[in-house]
Each structure stands twice: as C-alpha cells, then as structure tokens.
Structure 1
Amino acid sequence: MEPTRQSGRNRRSFVATGIAAGSAALAGCLSGSDSSETEIGSYTVSMAPMGEVEFDGVPEDAFVAFPQYADMAVALGHGDAVTTLFAPDMSGPTMDAFYERLEGVSFEWAGLQNPLENGLSEEQLYALDSDVHFLDPSYVVTTDDDWTASDIADIAETIGPWIGSFHSGVHSDPAPAYADSYEYYTLWELFETVAAVFRERDRYEALADLYAETRARIESNLPPESDRPTVARVTLGDGVFYAYHLNTPGFWQADTRPLGARDALADVEWPGDWGEVSYETMLEADPDVILHLWGITPRYAIEDVRQRLETDAAGSELTAVKNERVLASGMRYQGPIMNLFQLEMTAKQLYPERFGEWPGYEIGESYPEIPEDEQLFDRGEVAEIVTDGA
C-alpha cells in the first residue's frame, strides 16, 4: 500500500532508485507522452542525484526555493503552481522587470513565503504539502546539519519528490551522501527536466530553439578575442568585492560565458562558490568593465555602487570607474526567460558596437525599452510560447 500525505491526499509517487546513492540518469528523461497537455496517468522523470521519480499527475503545488525554478514554471505556463520563493521581495520585482516586456506574461509572487528564511524544516514541508520540491537534496544537507539523506528520502516518500541541482551553478562539490550519483547540468538541461515534470515538452523545445538561435547569432557576431574587454563580475561589499568568474562551467555563468569576454580575475582562485577580492587585487586586475551582480535587483542601486567606488581612494583609480563602465548585471539564479534577457543585456554592455548601446537600468524600473531592430530575441515569440504554448 502506498503511503499517503498527512493531509490524506494521494501523494505524487516516488520511485526510490537512489535518493541517497542511486545511479545518475539523463536529465529530462520522461516516459510516456511528451504532450504539452495536462494528462491523467503516471510518468517518470530522471535526474541525478535523485534518480528516477514517478508522478501520478502534473504538479499543482510546487515548492520553489531559488527563482530559476519559478522562472521555469512561468515559462512553461505553470507559474500559478509556485507556492514559495527565495527572497520574494528581491526575486519577484526582478522577474517582473523582465516579464513586463512580454505581453500577457506575469507572476504572482506577492505573499509567497521565503522557505529558507528561518531554515528549512520538515514541519514546514508537511504544512505546505507540495506535489514537488524544486530544491537539490544535496544543498539541503550541505547547508543544514539537522537534515540527513534519510530525512530527504522520507519527505520524498511521504509528501513529494525533490528535483534540483544547486551545485551545477559553479560545479561545486556535492554532499558526500550524493557524491557517487551527482551530475552537473546546464541551465537549459535543468529546464528540460522541469519541463518533463510539468509535461510541457513543446514549450521547452520552442524556447530552447529560440535560445539556440539567439546564442548562435550573438556568438557569430563577437569581435576577435584580442578586441574583447577585460571584465570583472563582482558585488561590492564592505571593503571587499564578492567575485565570480565569467567563463567557468555552471549555470550561474549562463549569461556571461557565451559572450567570451576576457575574465580579469581568471587567475584569482577561491575555495567556495565565490571569492572575496580586495581593492588591491582589483587594482592589479584593473578590468575595463565591472559587471555588478544583482545590480538589477532592488537590493542594489547601480548609481549608489558607482558613487561608493568613485569616492573611494582605491576604487576611483579603477579603469572601469574612470570610464563609467560599472554596469548593473543580472541575477545568477536565472531561468530561461531571465537568461534570454540577461544574455541580451550583457551582450550590449560588453559589445555596444556589435549589438547596440545598452540604455542603462534604473532601480525599480522595468527592463529598458530596446528598439525592435536592436533586440536580440523576439519578445512576441517568447510571450506567445509562454501564454499560448508552442
């Protein structure tokens, strides 16, 4: 007899082929029909490190932590399934800034609870009673000593499965319990898996095709490597810069790696997912351009960042500051829609002579208007895929 949820509803079935140490499987492997229509009947989705999970129907309630999965749900026409969101007052307005340029596309984020605000608890997950948890089990046990792989399996069995790959962000090491079964996925491979969960293969393929065309068009128009600027991707902290690489593997770099700029901090190493870089190190690297991560979120006003650098004795000596090339960059937690906009934004910021001038971004405003003949992807096509299906 199958276990049931505490609410008494039938759970979304879970096939335990390796939540702790099972074999890895191909992302987005879906048995049965690939139709974009909601259908009754069980189907399976495979992804490391979870293994193969079985659903008895399309999820109606989706636990989401990081916003890339909310963006994926919106892109697949299932944004109303999202019931939680990391830092909604930051993530929500940032997503809105992009969606306002897509007719008919929106996301109701106001009122969603931040599931990580006070630490993730089993009691919280039972109360939410979600059909699927879009969060990497390895992330949970790595960041919270109260969780074990056994606890993760219990939640999957009694409430709903886990789908996620946090460590694919920068190819960091997973928790020991999952190390033997872990695999790394690109942003668009993760999106393919989420599409399999929602049975929205047609929407995924249409957006993936549009992305491939957009990326190919950008890459074919890049200047020679010798003519590309040196770039530092950082967030300004208190006396330090929190630094990220541009061209290393991982979906956190999905909006910078395709552009092939020269990473000013390529030779600087750090042990974690990001590093702390001093003003002295930044002066030694002296990038042509500074991309300020999180610059399009409500947390940072790019004008304030520029002012802080201009009034600092060391910061004012940076070439990027002198040449007014300190620019608001995107979020590392980007889904497919966000990735399209952030790829366009970064292309214009780094190569205005190739892709048109970046008009700038003002905190609290929408993604800026781009003349139609200077847009790097078709907004109408994206909106039609999201709202009407492929």
Structure 2
Amino acid sequence: MTDDTTRWTTPTRRDALKCGTALAASGGLAGCSSILGGETDDTDSGSGAYTVSMSPMGEVTFEDPPETVFTRLTHHADMAFALGRGDSITAMHAPDYYDGLWNQFVARLPGVTLDWKGLYSSWKPSKEKLYELNSDVHLADPAWIAIQDAWSREDFEEVTNNISPWVGNSLSDRHAEPAPGWQEGYEYYTLWEQFEIVADMFKERKRYEKLAAVHDDLTSTIESGLPPESERPSAVMLASADLDEIYAYTVRNPGFLTAHLRPFGVSDAFDGEIETNTVVDFETLLSADPDVIFFLGGFEPGTSLPKRKEALRSDPVASEITAVQSGRMYPQGARYQGPILHLFQLEMTAKQLYPDAFGEWPPYEEGPYPEIPAAERLFDRKQVAAAIRGEV
C-alpha cells in the first residue's frame, strides 16, 4: 500500500483531465508539469491543475472538474447529488432501489429532483463496462472493490491509465479491514471529512460550506438538547426485508454507518457481545433487550412498517423485547448514508429518541419522510435545497 504522498502517473488520452493517483508505487509526477502547467489552489473559480488527496489512492490531479461520475455505493452518489452532480452519475449499486429510497427524502427539498433509475448497477463492475461508461472519475474505493471482486492492482491501474482515476473511501463506513495489499497506510474519514475532499474534487467549495454550516447548526442543537446519560436508552439497528434473516448493527462502533446515532449517546444493547453486521435471531435480540429498535431501510417504498412491527409483536420471543412492548420501533434510511441523508437521519433520530427535547416524531407507516411543521424542524430544508441547486 502506498501512502498518501505518492502519485502514480502515466500519460493517457485523459491527461488533460488528470495526471495521477497513488495506486501504484511509482514516485512523483514525472511528465505532468508540461501537461498540466503546474498546480493551483482548489477554488470555485480560475483554471489550471489542482490536486486532491484521499486514502487509499493518495494524490489525484485534475485539470477540470469531472463531468461524469461512476459510483459504487450510495454515500458517494449522495455526495455527488449534494454538490449538484446528481445527473452526472453513470453507475451505482441497485440504482432503482436507492432511487426510490432517496426520493422519500428528496421529496422534502423544494425545487430539487433526483433520478437514478436505469443506471448501470455497479455492485460487480466489469472493466469492459467501465470502458463503455467512459466516466471522468471513479468515485469508489479500490480497497473495498478488491475485497468484493478480487480486482488486482493492475486492474485499477489499467482503468486509471485508459479511462480515469479512482477517488473514494468506503471502509470508513465501519472501519473495516482493507483487502490484503491495501492495509498499509489506509486512513479512515468521517462522513463530512470525505465529503469535503469530494467537494474539492468537483471545485464546489461553496456548496460544501453551505451544507456544512447546516450540519454544524444541527449538531449544535443536538448537543445542547441531550438529556443526562442516565436517561439515554439502549438501542440496536436492524436490517431485514422479512425478518427471516436479521442483520444487526451495533450503535457505537466507529465509522459513518453510525454517525447519526453516536451523537445521541445511546448505549449498545449488545454490549460487545456481537460484532456489527451479524445475523441474529429473536433469542439474541431478547437477550440484548434494547429499549429502541431502528429499522434500516424503513423508508423503502413498498415496505410496510406496521407489518414489520406486527411480526415482532406476534412472535412469542420477540414480543418480550422491551422496544417491542413499548412500541419504540422506528424507521431509518440507509447504511451508506451521504451528507443529505445524514441530515434527515440526525433529525429523525433526535425526535425518535428524545421527543421532549427535540419534538415528537410524527406517526409514520409508509411513504415519504413525514412533513414536519416548519417550527419543529431541526434543519432548514430551503438552505439545503439552495445549496444543491447551486444558490450559494
């Protein structure tokens, strides 16, 4: 694994767009100065080469902001969308599913639309398809793809040399171990740290700053309203379409998977007894006995939250769980949250956990994110929508 100061460059047909990544261990930017005319600071104005750096790729240099974007996971797709690049995406995992899920939240952003339907589903991308898509950047994590698809470094080098570079980090989701050969020097980022780098890649600093200000205000509101630790519940987060196979996620592990839960100081009901992303049964859940259950994907179109709750209430074991008996079972968004979904998830989690401090969570069964009265919202939808539209 090379470190973040190494650059890998081979002149290609896209040398006017980029000049390097650190996917291979060659040193320096040999030959790039004459191609790019030197480096400039990354700002929203001006022209010339500029560089961003993100683990595991290291430094990547661009001449112009990418216009078409390959993504693998939704945190990256959400970042592109947040920066006004929603229509630039050429691929993503399960596009029709996530189009439906994300639009449940986008419906509350005035003047903003999102359409990911029909994109190439990139869960197991082929190099041939990447050539066909011909994207200006691959906003995806090579160390993650190497785990899933056993791509070699030569595969990533070929794509970089002949198509465009890689810029992305996914293992920060829960600080997972990189694939062999990618472990040395791998860095983990918070969601908003990574979003800032992606914003600089697109030269969208002003959009980022406007959204970051909304996020800062929201987190300040949360911090000032938290009840004492003795009044904070235990919780689990579950993902399951039909409750036949239940994936459980612990709520205090590092990474942006739980970035919308950690600020609220809830305790992990499993108390270290299981690893996050573990299949559990009702007996295991009862042993943990959480005060609150969160359902990942609870906003998915076609999902019936009442049916899911009833399935737990009607089971002789699950019905004994404290969260089931009290009715404290709530929907959540998605595992790979980007900045826009994160704002909604912080707001909903605040209301679900601490209604006395942040206002009641409205009754919800299905459909878009509930319409919360303006005076009870924890962040300004109009500011977020304006940033996405570029009104900065």
TM-score above 0.5: yes
Counterpart residue number, 1:301: 304
Paired with 1:192 and 1:360, the residues of 2 have a C-alpha distance of 35
Counterpart residue number, 1:133: 138
Runs of 4+ in 1 over 3 A off after TM superposition: 20-23, 236-240
Paired with 1:263 and 1:174, the residues of 2 have a C-alpha distance of 25
Among 40, 52, 55, the alignment partner of 1:32 is 40
* 1:181-234 CA distance string (max 9 Å, x none): 210000001101110110001111121122011101111110001101111111
Contact 1:14 1:54 in 2 (8 A): yes
CA 1:327–1:63 in 2, change beyond 3 Å: closer, same or farther? same
Gaps of 5+ in 1: 24-30
* Partner secondary structure for residue 121 of structure 2: coil
- Indicate the RMSD between aligned Cα atoms, in angstroms: 1.9
Among 383, 386, 389, the alignment partner of 2:388 is 386
CA 1:261–1:349 in 2, change beyond 3 Å: closer, same or farther? same
Could you tell me which amino acid in structure 1 is paired with residue 44 of structure 2?
S
Counterpart residue number, 1:47: 54
Counterpart residue number, 1:26: none
Give the C-alpha shift of residue 36 in structure 1: 2.8
Could you tell me which amino acid in structure 2 is paired with residue 133 of structure 1?
H
- For residues 151-162 of structure 1, the aligned pairs below 5 Å read 151-162=155-166
The worse-fitting range, judged by mean Cα deviation, of 314-323 and 123-132 is: 314-323
Paired with 2:364 and 2:138, the residues of 1 have a C-alpha distance of 34
Counterpart residue number, 2:228: 224
* 1:142-163 CA distance string (max 9 Å, x none): 1113x10121111112111111
Contact 1:21 1:49 in 2 (8 A): no
Give the C-alpha shift of residue 388 in structure 1: 3.0
1:354 aligns with 2:363: no
Give the C-alpha shift of residue 298 in structure 1: 2.9
Counterpart residue number, 1:28: none
Give the C-alpha shift of residue 241 in structure 1: 2.8
Paired with 1:198 and 1:277, the residues of 2 have a C-alpha distance of 41
CA 1:22–1:261 in 2, change beyond 3 Å: closer, same or farther? farther
Among 53, 59, 64, the alignment partner of 2:66 is 59
Counterpart residue number, 2:11: 2
Could you tell me which amino acid in structure 1 is paired with residue 259 of structure 2?
A
Could you tell me which amino acid in structure 2 is paired with residue 154 of structure 1?
E
* 1:19-40 CA distance string (max 9 Å, x none): 14689xxxxxxx6344335x54
Among 258, 263, 274, the alignment partner of 2:263 is 258
Could you tell me which amino acid in structure 1 is paired with residue 384 of structure 2?
V
Could you tell me which amino acid in structure 2 is paired with residue 155 of structure 1?
V
Paired with 1:99 and 1:160, the residues of 2 have a C-alpha distance of 30
Could you tell me which amino acid in structure 2 is paired with residue 256 of structure 1?
L
The worse-fitting range, judged by mean Cα deviation, of 189-198 and 257-266 is: 257-266
Paired with 1:260 and 1:330, the residues of 2 have a C-alpha distance of 19
Give the C-alpha shift of residue 269 in structure 1: 2.6
Paired with 1:44 and 1:299, the residues of 2 have a C-alpha distance of 43
Could you tell me which amino acid in structure 1 is paired with residue 251 of structure 2?
L
Counting aligned pairs with the same residue, the percent is 44
Could you tell me which amino acid in structure 2 is paired with residue 35 of structure 1?
T
Scaled by the length of structure 2, the TM-score of the pair is 0.90
Give the C-alpha shift of residue 299 in structure 1: 6.3
Counterpart residue number, 1:101: 108
Paired with 1:80 and 1:229, the residues of 2 have a C-alpha distance of 41
Contact 2:283 2:318 in 1 (8 A): no
Give the C-alpha shift of residue 44 in structure 1: 1.2
Give the C-alpha shift of residue 389 in structure 1: 3.4
1:212 aligns with 2:216: yes
Paired with 1:253 and 1:14, the residues of 2 have a C-alpha distance of 35
1:288 aligns with 2:291: yes
Paired with 2:379 and 2:233, the residues of 1 have a C-alpha distance of 24
Give the C-alpha shift of residue 240 in structure 1: 4.7
Give the C-alpha shift of residue 330 in structure 1: 1.6
Could you tell me which amino acid in structure 2 is paired with residue 14 of structure 1?
C
Give the C-alpha shift of residue 238 in structure 1: 4.7
1:200 aligns with 2:211: no
CA 1:108–1:241 in 2, change beyond 3 Å: closer, same or farther? closer
